[in-house]
Amino acid sequence: MELESYLQRKLKEKDILLMTHIVLGYPSFKESFQIIEKMVAAGVDIMELQIPFSEPIADGPVILRANQKALESGATIQDCLSLAQKAAETFDIPFLIMTYYNILYKYGVSEFTAKMASSSITGAIIPDLPPEEGSTYLTCMEKSNLAPIMIFSPTTTSDRMQYLADFAKGFIYCIARKGVTGEKTTFSNKLSDYLSGCHNATSLPIAVGFGIKDRQDIQFLKGKAEIAVIGSQTIRIMEQDGIKAVEDFILSLQ
């Protein structure tokens, strides 16, 4: 499905969309699928499926450990791609692959993007692949009609935002603050200013992630961003209270 038009259509029904994230194979592939099922049932609009990597430098402790545990229990790229395909073919929302560049590089970048396309995946987020290093990837994504999600951060200059926006499709992922995933974010005027700067650089919808954990945070983002991203918090809830609690948590956000 064409990501941007899907998002624009959804945005006519809701003030803010919800994107969630899981690590494939954590705690197991069976449970990964159940979590996806619960999230879709609870009204999630788009999902990031992370393929675990042994060196996830942009991730904080919660997602880092989920990566390690998935790998320790033997998760392979094939397993991850199969589950991603099953999810994308079963549920009527867009799915994105999130992973680090080495996973694509070892698989073969064009083979990987072709596989994503034939599995009904909509796009990808590769946090350690800036466009300067990603020309092969960008060409292959274009060829397969997939959305390469670009990332803005609070340290990105407005010139660079324009530069990145030229490569972007679907939406822009805006990192709410410095640091890694899963730490506390202060929802402040400073964040609002940053997000309006992000909007100035692109006509695409913007997603905000890093540290979003409850309904109040999402309320703050309404009118300032189009998509709220929940990552580490659902993993924490699943670890503490099980898969059923994830569904209740997602429902409580809306």
Partner 1 sequence: MITSRYYGQFGGAFLPEILVATFNELVTAFNEAKNDPTFWQEYENIMSSYSCRPTPLTFAQNLTSHFGGARIYIKREDLNHTGAHKANNVMGQGLLVKRMGKTRVIAETGAGQHGVATATMAAKFGFKCTVYMGEVDVKRQRPNVFWMERLGAEVIPVKDGTRILKDAINEAFRDWVTNMDDTHYVLGTACGPHPFPEMVSYFQSIIGKEARKQIMEIEGRLPQRIYACVGGGSNALGIFSGFFDDPVELIGAEAGGKGLDTGRHASRLACKDGSPGVAQGYKTYFLQNSDGQMKETHSVAAGLDYVGVSPILAHLRDKGRVRFTAATDKEVLDALTLTIKKEGLIPALESAHAFAQAFKEASKMSKDDIILINQSGRGDKDIFTIADAFADPQWQAFIKNKAKEYGA
Q: Which residues bind partner 1 (CB under 8 A)?
A: 53-58, 60-61, 64-65, 68, 71, 76-77, 100-103, 105-107, 127-130, 132-133, 151-157, 160, 163-164, 175, 178-180, 183
H helices of the chain, where?
3-13, 29-41, 61-72, 77-90, 101-107, 109-118, 135-143, 158-165, 189-201, 215-221, 232-241, 243-253
- CB closer to partner 1, 60 vs 197: 60
**How far apart (Å, rounded) are the C-alpha atoms in residues 88 and 75?**
19
Q: Quick check: is 79 catalytic?
A: no
Q: Closest distance between partner 1 and the C-beta of residue 38, in Å? A: 28
- CB closer to partner 1, 149 vs 250: 149
Give CA separation, 101 vs 51, 55, 105, 228, 241, in Å: 11, 11, 6, 24, 33
Q: Closest distance between partner 1 and the C-beta of residue 129, in Å? A: 6
Q: What is the CA radius of gyration of the chain?
A: 17
Q: Closest distance between partner 1 and the C-beta of residue 137, in Å? A: 11
Using an 8 Å Cβ cutoff, are 151 and 172 in contact?
yes
- CB closer to partner 1, 50 vs 249: 50
Please provide the distance, in angstroms rounded to a whole number, between the alpha carbons at the two ends of the chain: 24
Q: Annotated catalytic residue: which of 13, 45, 59, 159?
A: 59
Q: Quick check: is 55 catalytic?
A: no
Q: Annotated catalytic residue: which of 4, 15, 45, 48?
A: 48
Q: How many residues does the chain have?
A: 254
- CB closer to partner 1, 23 vs 129: 129
Q: Closest distance between partner 1 and the C-beta of residue 64, in Å? A: 6
- Catalytic positions, please? 48, 59
